Structure 1
Amino acid sequence: MTRRILITGASVAGNTAAFWLGRTGFDVTVVERAPGFRDGGQNIDVRGVGREVMRRMGLEQAALACGTGEEGTAWVDGRGRVVARFATADIEGDGPTAEMEILRGDLARLLYDAARAGAAFRFGDRVERIEQDAEGVTVGFTGGGSERYDAVIVAEGVGSSTRERVFPGENAPRWMDLTIAYLTIPRTADDDRMWRWFNATEGRGVSLRPDRHGTTRAMLMIQQPPGGEQDWAPDRQRAFLRARFADVGWEAPRVLAALDQTDDFYFDVLRQVRMKTWSKGRVVLTGDAAWCVTPLAGIGTTLALTGAYVLAGELSRGGDVAGAFAGYERAMRPMVDKAQGVPKIAPRLMNPHSRLGIRLLHEALRVVSTPRLRSLAARAFARPPLEPDLSPYRALEADRVS
């Protein structure tokens, strides 16, 4: 049975896998390139089967208690007047705003604290070399030395370097023609508990979201084909945003003014990760490293939690590595494939380029936000994915090692 596991990346997926494998008796090490645990990050949500995984971890109520307090989503015009509103209190189930809205760092902290009892964490280091044979995997680290493992789980991000070492050139990214910059800005008295979304011409948008830390989470969005901006230095990315949003009204000047003050600026040119297979020998991918669906799908965190749980469940069955990895992929592929089916026209529809396009979007949103239609609209935002059956993995909860 595979017993010694390396997980690369102290991500949502990585920490979830570490929690479940550690509690069932595996010898687990998590290596993370950051010098320490990262608390930062923007708003994410957990839905459906992801909530069930949190429940089985005993963390669902803690996650709800750490929620952002977001009370819904509102589209506004240049004067801040609401043109369409989807309040959570008016919707049965999850809409654009889910019941479990939480900051990425707050969720990752819950998972990390829960995983530490059964896993060793190695911060400030990363994989430099990886070689495998029929019996195991030898991993060399940038910090020096090498270790032998029975299997390696790659739980890094969309640009995973370890994935590229093991699967060179095999990722066929699907670019979604949307760029988003994330940052945290000071909260003002005018900020409410709604996710406010403003559209400007040329495919530009500004949104503000609440948190429970006394700040506001901002996004600057541009609908355009990629031009290599993801590889620019942060200073060049900031200059690019200042130029593109210089004439945008509403709260754009406030967000631009905070670009140099924030310590969590993150610039993302959205692309899906598309792999023909998620495993090679004794190395397997999970989370964004395997299937990044982008925020457009609305279930990236749910997939990370669910995929890590299913992978741990398959490994815990005690069969061979190849069989475990194959079972994991069979279970997760339908959900991932459906999540990756977001049409590329969606970002353009939600980020119009003309004043007429913005008026049409606002009118459509106004109509579907009326009491008669908003529940139907909310279900469209939260369309049920092809969730895997979690019943085969109930043994994980009974296999706790004291």
Structure 2
Amino acid sequence: MPRVLVVGAGIAGDTVALMLGRAGWEVTVAEIAPELRGGGQSVDLRGDCRAVLDRLGLLDEVLARLVDQRGAAWVDGDGRRLAEMPVEAFGGNGYVSKEELLRSDLARVLHDAAGAQVTHLFGETVEALEDAPNGVSVRFRHAPPAEFDLVIGADGAHSRVRRLRFGPEEVFRRQLGLAHAWFTMDETPATPPVDGWFLTHNAPGSRSVEARPGHPGQQEIGFTFAAATLPPRRDREAQFALLDQVFADVGWRTRELLAAARQAPDFALDTLDQIQLPKWSDGRVVLLGDSAWCASPLSGLGTALALRGAAALADAVEAADALRLPHRLSDALTAYESAMRPRVRDAQRLFPGRVRQAAPRTGLGIHTVAWLIRQIQKPPLAKTFTRLAAGHGQGQPA
């Protein structure tokens, strides 16, 4: 039986593992985290997501885990609303959606669905990939070496598989000039409620603070700011010190949320970048999801691309009959890339002004963004933006 190694137990990795496992492949998933990752930002099920999840028989289970989301609002330093956009705006294709859930919940559904069809190795990653006569020889960090017919790198924007096989990250990274920190915060009786709203406070200097609904009794918090480089990912104290410095004079709930960041086990900080490669496969090694094409969280399409990409890769492998005829694997990987390239290209063309809207530089810019948000929801602009929003990121049947 042909063997496939998937590196990364995220949305893309576990989806392709599930589909190839059902197709008869012997699938192993290596995940560097010691267990399935918790927390994480909300993910949007618009576009291709519903079709792929329905095909997998998981749509109802996923829909049962949606967060209570009513809209997005932009607030001043005292919490007064400058503008808001309910989930019904633009025919349900506005800034946020009724159909969002936490990334960790979607990952859990996919992981559990794989069950015994897939072997998961947690706390594990790859150290070397070498071509063998009939496959790829893999040296793991802990597990014994093994050979696989196909290796899929689905290990995110900072992909180890990509670095080992295609080159250093710097070659493929397109910086957008922003950084983002996120974490989960437990509510207390003193915590101001968000009541189902994604609240954003923008401050001059390209800084924003966000609070949005999560699981009951929790809020998902974010800090966005201008930055090209950050402290090392393992140096939490340096990261917290940077946030304290950047947001020292920002109002609203900022001081409370900075303190909460230090207590959050799922705290993460990263730059908002895109990944752009001329080719996603090399021999029997192929990249999938953010490893291949990260469009950045600003696109709002990361989950749709991950699910659709996983389906496209699994479909291409099956269509080429690569299970019985491994020599046709190259054709399958070419077909996968041809299917996904146009979608990725569109997703990486961010909506005009998206970066500046996420973190305006001046007080005038902040009020201009709020004014624009109010105006585009009024006739006659509302009709135009409803049409534009419907076309942005909407998928085709899976």
1:364 paired to 2:372: yes
1:12-161 map, 5 Å: 12-161=11-160
The answer (yes or no) to whether the contact 1:181–1:267 under 8 Å persists in 2 is yes
Q: Is the 8 A contact 2:85 2:373 kept in 1?
A: no
- Aligned pair in 2 of structure 1 residues 378, 295: CA closer, same or farther (>3 Å)? farther
CA distance in 1, matches of 2:303, 2:125: 23
- Report the AA paired with residue 332 of structure 1: M
CA separation of 1:102/1:141 partners in 2, compared to 1, >3 Å: closer, same or farther? same
Match of 1:384 among 382, 388, 392: 392
388 and 380 in structure 1: CA distance in 2 versus 1, 3 angstrom threshold: closer
Residues of 2 paired with 1:378 and 1:61: CA distance? 27
C-alpha contact (below 8 Å) 2:89/2:377 kept by paired residues: no
Q: Deviations over 1:215-272 (max 9, x none)?
A: 00011111x2403446572210110101111110011111111121111111011111
What amino acid does structure 1 have at the position aligned with 2:215? Answer: R
Contact 1:352 1:358 in 2 (8 A): yes
Q: Deviations over 1:28-52 (max 9, x none)?
A: 1111111122222121112212210
CA shift for structure 1 position 138: 0.8
- Please tell me the residue identity of whatever aligns with 1:241: L
CA shift in 2, pair 1:207/1:360, >3 Å: same
1:132, 1:307 → 2: CA distance?
25
Q: 1:199 to 1:172 in 2, by over 3 A?
A: same
Matched residues in 2 for 1:44 and 1:304: separation?
11
- Identify the residue that residue 396 of structure 1 maps to in structure 2: none
Q: Matched residues in 2 for 1:97 and 1:378: separation?
A: 14
Change (3 A) 1:179 1:382: farther
Say which SS state the counterpart of residue 258 (structure 1) adopts.
helix
Report the counterpart of residue 224 of structure 2 in structure 1: 221
Which amino acid in the other structure matches residue 343 of structure 2? Answer: M
Provide closer, same or farther for how the CA distance between residues 121 and 144 of structure 1 changes in structure 2, counting only shifts above 3 A. closer
CA deviation digits over 1:128-147, x for unaligned, max 9? 11111352111111104111
Q: Give the equivalent residue in structure 2 for 1:269.
A: 271
Q: 2:196 aligns with which of 188, 193, 198?
A: 193
CA drift at 1:346: 2.9
Residues in 2 aligned to 1:366 and 1:144: alpha-carbon distance in whole angstroms: 56
TM-score, normalised by the number of residues in structure 2: 0.92
- After TM superposition, the structure 1 stretch with the greater mean CA deviation from structure 2, 267-276 or 78-87, is 78-87
Number of aligned residues = 388
- The equivalent residue for 1:181 is 181
1:68 and 1:138 mapped to 2: Cα distance? 43
CA distance in 2, matches of 1:127, 1:94: 40
Contact 1:96 1:378 in 2 (8 A): no
In angstroms, what is the RMSD of aligned CA positions?
A: 2.0
Distance in structure 1 (CA, Å) of the matches to 2:356 and 2:93: 24
Partner of 2:363: 355
Q: Partner letter of residue 156 of structure 1?
A: D
How far is the alpha carbon of 1:312 from its aligned partner?
0.6
Further displaced range: 182-191 or 49-58: 182-191
CA positional deviation for 1:3 = 2.1
Aligned to 1:346: 354
% of aligned pairs identical? 38
Judged with a 3 Å threshold, the aligned counterparts in structure 2 of structure 1 residues 228 and 218 are, in CA distance, closer, same or farther, namely closer
Amino acid at match of 2:264: T
Residues 1:304 and 2:302 aligned together: no
Structure 2, unpaired ranges of 5+: 323-327
* Runs of at least 5 residues in structure 1 that lack an aligned partner in the other structure: 391-402
Using a 3 Å threshold, how does the CA distance of structure 1 residues 343 and 372 change in structure 2: closer, same or farther? closer
> For 1:361, what is the secondary structure of its paired residue?
helix
